[in-house]
Structure 1
Amino acid sequence: MLSVNITPSPSPHLLKPVPTFGNKEEEGNDDNLVLENEFGDLIAELRAVLGTSKGLASDDIDVKHIQNIMANYESKEAHWGKYALSDASKGYTRNGIVNINGNANLLILVWSPGKGSAIHDHANAHCCMKILKGELTESLYDMPDGEGEMKPRSVSTLQRDEVGYISDDIGLHKISNETSDFAVSLHLYTPPYASLYGCSMYESGTAKKHHLILWKLKDALDWPVQELKELKRISRSFKKIQ
């Protein structure tokens, strides 16, 4: 994952109990969200770039420009905290923020301590991830050409206010929170192909591929129990966008 660094503010931000936003475990469907703060300015800038009436394809996206827009925002929990809902029993919780005219989905993900995602692809789309709180570890994998244990080709850690980027041209990855506190990240998926066509996830021990089409599961019965539970949980979150 390629990263862009900006200087973080010196004061830490701690998650506090907040009212339910209403999009927990969903892709955001609110294309009219307006916030009177710097986080709202970030959303407005992304709308200006991605909110065209034309349906965008992967080749239409200026990834560097998107990364710079996200990097220029300095994270403050007062701006986004009410959207960062968490469930410690899950590896991570998806909170939909906004759908930008069908061209992009913006989400806040809250990562439980010591947990993370499965190895997955990005459905030929772009994913930019900004760390809003804490730190996250990315394990990057080559696309497997056969069965066998999947070993990362690189492991890196992103700190607060850093922005990373991943696409299928770079490889597969998994994200994990290896700390003892919750971490929070902002994700922009453009175009939102995964929510439309599904994505693929891989068993770490065998490299077996499972394509997830919204809430439908294929060939998942022989997965290890924990990985199967995670895939089923993710499938339920995709189902709710319909």
Structure 2
Amino acid sequence: MSSASYQAEELQDPSTLGDLISSLRSIFDSDRVNIEEVGDLLKSYKSNPRDWKQFAKFDRFRYTRNLIDEGNGKYNLMLLCWGEGHGSAIHDHADSHCFMKVMQGSLSEVRFSWPEKNSSSEGESEGKSEDETEDLKPMMELSRNLLPTDGVCYINDSMGLHRVENTSYSDTAVSLHLYCPPFEECSVFNQRTGHRSKAKVTFWSRYGNKPNVEEERPPEDN
């Protein structure tokens, strides 16, 4: 994807979620996609629950990922539903681009730097595997932002890691996420130790329908 400049007047503000999806598919038909154009398109769409309520599936215990569109195989567009107090683990994005737009309520996005090795532990790993010996510093928080309804943010792995939280204990929240290219696995991190583990990226529902399989849950917080 490219961050080169473009002519903003060429964009047409989508009035519905269907318009947004059509515009995204058109943008991603190109071999070179402008991340600024995608971000501005998401900002120009004003959330309307009538557009997305069919995809909004909540769980009382965990936030849910609900697939809306697979974008010709070039991206995944999904609706995440956050109950009161729900949050994600600290995670990366598997070398993909991540856009997030708040559709209802507000969400806290906390960014972290990648884990750093503790220099005092060098030379103590002889004869042991990396998982057994890697001594990392506690993860450093870089920023903390509260995104209101229709707020948009962007992150990729070169910018660090993040955790998303619904900090309200009285209101739910809903967010629209676009990952490009799609990925099936990412890394989640323990804030205190910096250690990572792999987590599968699964969907609670697809296209508004719950799969007839064992319930799929997002990875547990570390």
TM-score range, shorter chain: 0.7 to 0.9
Task: Check the 8 A contact 2:65/2:218 in 1, yes or no.
Answer: no
Q: 2:41 aligns to what?
A: 69
Indicate the SS of the match to 1:153. Answer: strand
Amino acid at match of 2:68: I
Amino acid at match of 2:199: L
In structure 2, relative to structure 1, the CA distance for the partners of 1:69 and 1:78 (3 Å cut) is: same
Task: Check the 8 A contact 2:115/2:138 in 1, yes or no.
Answer: no
* 1:79-228 correspondence runs (5 A): 79-90=51-62, 92-146=63-117, 147-179=136-168, 180-192=170-182, 194-195=183-184, 198-212=185-199
Task: Check the 8 A contact 1:51/1:100 in 2, yes or no.
Answer: no
User: How far 1:155 moved relative to its partner?
Assistant: 0.6
The count of residues paired between Structure 1 and Structure 2 equals: 175
Task: Check the 8 A contact 1:85/1:110 in 2, yes or no.
Answer: yes
What is the CA–CA distance in structure 1 between the aligned matches of 2:68 and 2:163, rounded to whole Å?
22
Indicate the SS of the match to 2:84. Answer: coil
What is the CA–CA distance in structure 2 between the aligned matches of 1:141 and 1:107, rounded to whole Å?
23
In structure 2, relative to structure 1, the CA distance for the partners of 1:85 and 1:148 (3 Å cut) is: same
The percent of aligned pairs where both chains have the same amino acid is: 38
Please identify the structure whose Cα radius of gyration is greater.
2
Deviations 1:17-63 (A, max 9, x none): xxxxxxxxxxxxxxxxxxxx6110000000101145x6xxxxx4311
Unaligned stretches of 5+ in structure 1? 1-36, 55-59, 216-231, 237-242
Taking structure 2 as the reference length, the TM-score comes to: 0.74
User: How far 1:148 moved relative to its partner?
Assistant: 3.1
Runs of 4+ in 1 over 6 A off after TM superposition: none
Q: 2:128 aligns to what?
A: none
